[in-house]
Homo-oligomer: A and B are copies of this chain.
Amino acid sequence: MTALGIDLGGTKLSFAVFTQKGNIISKQTLALQNRSGPAVGDLINDEIKKILLVHSHIQSIGIAVPGIYYQEKGTVWAPNIKNWDNYPLLEQMQNAITIPISIDSDRACYIMGESWMGNAKNCGHAIYLAVGTGIGAGILVDGKVLRGAQDIAGAVGWMALQQPFDERYTGIGNFEYYASGEGIVRAARELLLKEKNYHTMLAQARTESLTAQDVFAAYEQKDKVANDVFEICIRFWGMAVANLVSLFNPEKIILGGGVFGPAVQFIPAIKNEAAKWAQPISMRHVSIEHSALGADAGLYGAALLAFQKITIPDTHSSSQNVQ
């Protein structure tokens, strides 16, 4: 039995054909090239049809979307794809493709992927903290993804971690403002503007084109601004991890997304910060780890979604079904 896992991002689209044991038979990625609205759905359907011609044994399809998936309506809110505010993706795909289709948010797929083939194997209680351009979390409770009343649980980028409230957090959230990929750039810019006398490599990058990668590169060179930026980030990441530990009492927290990545070097410092704040018994039992699947976590999770759709669920209906 094989399934097709699809990971839709804001700018690209990845496909991988999986065996039930979690092996990838083939994989490809293509750019969205500024497509928007129905053209993105058409691209997905066209590519699926091509893949099914070669891999006719595929029995189920799962897809991770970059935003929120509203299960009851079958619609997607994806802030980085134009005209995908309430987009009827399930209907569009079902009209074109006859095999079973499952959709979920990228953050749900990340933790499902890690629980299936990554660093959260056999965990019923685990959290994937995804730090990229933005911040979100996929949260497993008793082996099931926490959805909430409107399918938007896990919006951890909105966590309140520093008083008082500042208008700058509006539309982003306090945690995401400081500790996302964009937050790293923002903090570096703010420090560079405030401390005009900083004589650093980063100062040369005091331009619109500054990226989080630049700040990480400067940190490697012991740049003072970069060091200050990551001190702030580590405090926020540590407090956020602490809050997840105290509230959920999970077995594992996986730090992933584009920023972890290079920020995995900070995991020991993040643990130290978290240990100051968190419920001490929960903190002692939790394991804080990097993602084992990296950029493929969404593909693995999408494939697991697909397999779960065609596997007779047992009474525990956990991700272990298809291992």
A interface with B by C-beta (< 8 Å):
124-125, 137, 139, 141-142, 144, 146-165, 169-170, 173-174, 235, 239, 242-244, 246-251, 273, 276-279, 281-282, 285-286
Select from chain B the residue with minimum beta-carbon distance to A125.
B149
* B281 with A153: CB separation less than 8 A: no
CA distance A151 to B282 in the complex (A): 9
Residues on the B chain within 8 Å of A150, using CB = 249, 281-282, 285
Evaluate whether A149 and B235 lie within 8 angstroms (CB atoms) in the complex, with A246-B155, A246-B156, A277-B160 already known.
no
* B235 with A279: CB separation less than 8 A: no
* A239 with B160: CB separation less than 8 A: yes
Determine chain A's interface SS by DSSP, over half rule. Answer: loop
How distant is A271 from chain B, measured CB to nearest CB, in Å?
14
* B164 with A235: CB separation less than 8 A: yes
* A144 with B146: CB separation less than 8 A: no
CA distance A246 to B243 in the complex (A): 12
* A152 with B279: CB separation less than 8 A: yes
From the candidates B147, B155, B165, B277, name the one contacting A247 in the complex (CB within 8 A).
B155
Residues on the B chain within 8 Å of A149, using CB = 124-125, 249-251, 285-286
How distant is A101 from chain B, measured CB to nearest CB, in Å?
23
CA distance A244 to B142 in the complex (A): 19
Residues on the B chain within 8 Å of A139, using CB = 247
* B125 with A158: CB separation less than 8 A: no
CA distance A251 to B246 in the complex (A): 21
Residues on the B chain within 8 Å of A164, using CB = 235
* A155 with B249: CB separation less than 8 A: yes
How distant is A169 from chain B, measured CB to nearest CB, in Å?
7
CA distance A139 to B248 in the complex (A): 10
CA distance A229 to B279 in the complex (A): 25
Chain A to chain B contacts (Cβ below 8 Å), 26 pairs = A124-B149, A139-B247, A141-B141, A142-B147, A147-B249, A148-B250, A149-B250, A149-B251, A150-B249, A150-B285, A152-B282, A153-B248, A154-B247, A156-B246, A157-B246, A158-B242, A158-B277, A158-B278, A158-B279, A159-B243, A159-B246, A159-B247, A160-B243, A164-B235, A169-B276, A170-B276
How distant is A198 from chain B, measured CB to nearest CB, in Å?
23
* B162 with A248: CB separation less than 8 A: no
Select from chain B the residue with minimum beta-carbon distance to A274.
B160
7 A-B pairs closest in CB distance: A148-B249, A155-B279, A158-B246, A160-B277, A160-B239, A153-B249, A158-B279
